[in-house]
Structures are given as structure tokens and as C-alpha cells.
Chains A and B, each alone.
Chain A
Amino acid sequence: MQAEQLTSLVASWAPDQKPGISKQYPEFILPVDKVHSVAKSLKESPETKMDYLFCLTAVDRKDGFHVVYHLTSSEYHHCAVLRIILPDKANPVAPTVSDVWRTAEYFEREVFDLFGIRFENHPDMRRLFLEDDWVGYPLRKDYKDSFTLER
């Protein structure tokens, strides 16, 4: 599917989406409460069939935490990127997409582990890599500990 078609399709599901900055993939910045329904539609719609979430990650930006979803279709081989912005840095909460793509369960645990973004309705919201008693979220820009050497 061409990027223009995809844009109009996403715009029909989420009228207040904004185009993203990605040159490589068509990217849509969505309101936080829309991302789950758009994700579900992208997966289930016969025109898109985005059945594979190949990356879910987060970025610590000045305007808040961005959660970025990279989707592709194993049938049509087209890609799309969804992005949500969580302005509340003290208590960032995002909706889970682990009921849409099972792989998101681990992705979201990783993001929680390193950024401290909690995903609502996630079945098992624990740390993934770090020890359970680890204090802080290391990939946040304001992360400080006594171990790291700054340079």
C-alpha cells in the first residue's frame, strides 16, 4: 500500500493524527488514547494486515517520552510507524498493545525496564533485563547513579 493511501486510512481512524518526521517509513503521531484502536485496525484491516510489530521502543525527548511502534505486514511487506508522546515525565503511562501483538509483551517490559513507562492492562508489568531491586531507569536522560562514569 502506498503511503498516501495509508495516510488517508489512518486519518479515517484517527482524525487528529499528525504526520511524523520519518523519511524512511510513513509515520503517524497519534493521541495516546487512539493508539490501541489504530493498532488493532491496522492489524485487522484486510488492506493493511500489519501482523508484525518488529520494534517497539521509546525515546526520551524534551517534550516527553515518545513511544514508537514499527509495524510491517508479512503479506504486503509495507511498513508503518506509530508514535505517541507522553508529556508527563514523572508518571508516564501508555496503553498496552500486547493484546494486539503478543510480542509487545516483552517489548513493553523492556521499555518499562529502561524508561519506566508503564503500560496499562499489560499482563505482566515487571522489569525484563535488570534486577528487580534496581533503582531508577537507566535510559532516561536524567538517570544518575554512583557506578556510571560520565564523559
Chain B
Amino acid sequence: MGVDIKSIPYGDFNDNETLEELRKSGSSVLVTALDSIINWGRSNSVWPLTFATSCCGIEMMATGAPRHDFARFGIEVYRASPRQADVIVVAGTIVRKMAPVLKRLYDQMPDPKYVIAMGACAVSGGPFYYNSYSVVRGVDQVIPVDVYIPGCPPRPEALLYGVMQLQRKIKMQSLLKREGPPSESPEIDTSTEDKSRYVQPIENQDTTDTELCKPNN
């Protein structure tokens, strides 16, 4: 029971950096037989939550519809309740008013749970990165993300590819180490990372210059 997925012909599932990185990071090199069975079951029955906030949702629906039909890959019927869902596909723009709702939905999902950030808005804020007073710059500021799918919106094939990446990730999980391989990689130097997308907490907001704009009633 390997982690290669046959329908991708390029062989990159057997030979790519992610898999090497997963193997290198230890812990799940020897996936036990029990793990294999559990992960096989989990990865081939991923139930997504019905959650879409903009045009990516249309692509997500198209992916679920007969033409692309992601049930072929074991990501199955959309659940209307987070308590029955395994994965939340964040398909669309998340604004600051939506962020607490999204967090609550994520918290209501039973473990093990996964997050796919679909589309430019969910990955980084996308076209609303600059000059927007309301759009959260990346859903990873609210909930932890497993797979990022770029695109505006991504094609259904891209979502299928992302789902298969998630299945590979699930297949590398281990019972002994709940979260699978460690998410931090010590080699990566984060000092050049763009910190500007991380939001200041709202209570630190400087109110002096906006005092004038308060509603006067």
C-alpha cells in the first residue's frame, strides 16, 4: 500500500520533494500495518464540508458534479454539517467578519480534520491583498492549512490534484504521532519571509486618526 497515485502519469508521486521531505523528517518512515489500514480508509473516504464563499465554490461544485466527479478519488459527498465532515475546502474570499465563523466551523469538525485552501484568496488574500480593509490575507491566519491550491479560481483538475496531495498526506500519518510528520522544517530560513501579511490584533488599532469618522448620533 504505497502512497503513489496511479492516475497521475508523471511519476512525481513516487519521486518528488514533498515525499522525500516526509520520509526524511522521520517518525512515519515505517508506517505500521495498522496505520496503513487506517490511513487507507481515511484517505479514500474524505468528506468535505459544504463551504464556499465565492467563485471558487462554483469550481468546487463542478469538481463534485458528474463531469469531473471527485468521488472517483475517494473524496465523497458534501456534508452540510461540520460534525460530519473530514475536510473543509476553503473555496473563496474570507473577510474579517467571516473569519470567526470559519474558525468555529473548523472547531466543530471532529478529528482528524484537514483544510484545503483553494484559490488565491484563501491562499494569500489574492487580488485583495492590498488596499482592502476587510479581506483576511490567507486563511492560514485563521486555521491551519494542509494543502494550498493556487489559481483564480483553480480548475477542477487543480482541485483534484490538491485532494490527491491531501490523500498522500493522510497516508503518511501515524497513530503514534498524531499529526504525522512535523510541520516545521529546520532547514528553512524564515528571516526573509514577508511578514506584512500577518495582521495586527485589532485592539492595537490606532484610533486617534479615525476618531473623526465615528458615527455621530
A146 B200 Cβ-Cβ under 8 A: yes
Given contact pairs A131-B97, A149-B131, A150-B131, A143 touches B200 in the complex (Cβ within 8 A): no
> A108-141 interface mask toward B, CB cutoff 8 Å, 1 = contact, 0 = none?
0000100010100000010001110001111010
Residues of A close to B204: CB separation below 8 A: 146
* Most central of B205, B209, B210 by chain A CB within 10 Å: B210
Selected from A118, A144, A150, the residue in CB contact (under 8 A) with B209 is A144
B199 partner residues in chain A, CB cutoff 8 A: 147
Measured CB to CB, the closest approach of chain B to A88, in angstroms, equals 12
Query: B214: CB under 8 A from chain A?
Result: yes
Q: Is B130 an interface residue (CB 8 A)?
A: yes
* A63 contacts partner chain B, Cβ-Cβ < 8 Å: no
Taken together as a complex, chains A and B put the C-alpha atoms of A144 and B51 apart, in Å, by 32
Residue numbers in A under 8 Å from B134 (CB-CB): 130, 138
Q: Is the CB of B133 within 8 A of A151?
A: no
Ranked 5 nearest A-B pairs via Cβ:
A151-B130, A136-B213, A136-B210, A138-B133, A146-B205
CA distance A151 to B205 in the complex (A): 20
Q: How far is the CA of A149 from the CA of B196 in the complex (A)?
A: 8
Interface contact A148-B132, CB-CB below 8 Å:
yes
Chain A CB within 8 A of B206 CB: yes
Within 8 A of A (CB), among B145-160: none
Q: Main SS of chain B's interface residues?
A: loop
Query: Assuming A130-B97, A135-B205, A135-B207, is B130 touching A149 (CB within 8 A)?
Result: yes
In the complex, A21 has a CB within 8 A of chain B = no
Q: Does B212 contact A (CB under 8 A)?
A: yes
Most chain B CB neighbours (cut-off 10 Å) among A118, A131, A146:
A146
Residue in contact with A135 in the complex, picked from B132, B137, B196, B210, CB distance below 8 Å: B210
Q: How many residues of B sit at the interface, in one of the four size bands?
A: 20 to 34
Apart from the given pairs A116-B215, A148-B132, 9 other A-B contacts in the complex at a CB distance below 8 Å: A91-B216, A129-B97, A131-B97, A135-B213, A138-B133, A143-B133, A143-B210, A143-B213, A148-B131
Q: Digitize A3-17: 1 where CB-to-B-CB distance is under 8 Å, 0 elsewhere.
A: 000000000000000
B132 cross-chain contacts in A, Cβ below 8 A? 148
Cβ of A149 to closest chain B Cβ, rounded Å: 5
For B200, the closest partner residue in chain A by CB is A146
15 A-B residue pairs with CB within 8 Å: A130-B134, A131-B97, A136-B210, A136-B213, A137-B213, A138-B133, A140-B213, A145-B205, A145-B210, A146-B204, A146-B205, A147-B133, A148-B133, A149-B130, A150-B130
* Neighbouring B residues of A148 by C-beta, 8 Å: 131-133
Inter-chain contacts of B206 with A (CB < 8 A):
146
B129 at the interface (CB under 8 A from A): yes
Answer yes or no: B34 CB below 8 A from chain A CBs: no
Interface contact B216-A144, CB-CB below 8 Å = no
A33 CB to closest chain B CB, in angstroms? 21
**Are the CB atoms of B131 and A116 closer together than 8 Å?**
no
Say yes or no for A1: interface residue by CB 8 A criterion: no
Q: Would A144 and B210 be within 8 Å (CB), given that A149-B196, A151-B131 are in contact? A: yes
Given A116-B215, A136-B210, are A149 and B133 also a contact pair (CB < 8 Å)?
A: no
Contact partners of A125 in chain B: CB under 8 A:
217
